Structure 1
Amino acid sequence: MSEPPSRGAERDLFRDTWVRYLGYANEVGEAFRSLVPSAVVWLSYGVSSSYVLADAIDKGKKARDALASVAIPGFTINRLCAASLYILSTATRWPLAVRKWTTTALGLLAIPVIIHPIDRSVDFLLDSSLRKLYPSVEKPSSS
């Protein structure tokens, strides 16, 4: 999570509280993809998308420069898990259940590692493009 706002600054519900982690529900869903029905994974995308929509509306009202990403982290975890399951299937003779649980664990462990690099990359991309179209008084805080 981002650092607490300075004294007198407004606390951002979507950046400064546990609510932010709802935006990463789809990564948890992707990590569990090999163990749960597809509907559960899609539900996790619904939770993340709802978070993104609520955050975007909130930021849009405040500064008109918010854009959040569900696709990049979800795609990253999806490909990481797919690759790890493939590698474990070809390089080990572990039982399928062990390979699936190992893949899930790798996906979950990767979530905190990918959050900040993806956030910074998206911020850089937006600073270089869309945010130029929507000037604001201050740059949104980095996470």
Structure 2
Amino acid sequence: MVAGAIVLTDCIFWFILVPFLAREHYNTFQLLPIAMHSTNVVFLLFETALNSLRFPLFRIAYFFLWTCVFVIFEWIVHACIRLWWPYPFLDLSSPLSPLWYLLVALLHFPCYGIFFLVIKLKNFLLLRMFLRDGESAPP
């Protein structure tokens, strides 16, 4: 359920925030965000390598549900309490925030697809490594 969200947040963090926005919006680049956005993908890949769960495409609904619940929770928290917003382009006070939220919602599809490809690659590599010559893959 969280695999696509990890791919999405890590891509946004490492490919947008770090190179382009870190100097403007972060006074000092703190260790906690770096550690958080580095270790979660390591744990995701480790967990993916160890599990044998099937990955049906309908589970994207759980991914969207989790993301919607999280975004609504963040909106409520930031509306009630003045907190630092780690992703400045998602700040609700910006007039372009609805457009940014739509873009992030659409980016869920390729991120979920990337994780789908990781699962397919894992299955391909496992079959390749553990099948003997002349054997066929199980259905």
Q: Which has the higher contact order (CA 8 A, sep 6+)?
A: 2
TM-score if structure 1 supplies the norm length? 0.35
Rg larger in structure: 2
TM-score if structure 2 supplies the norm length? 0.36
Q: Say which structure is richer in helix.
A: 2
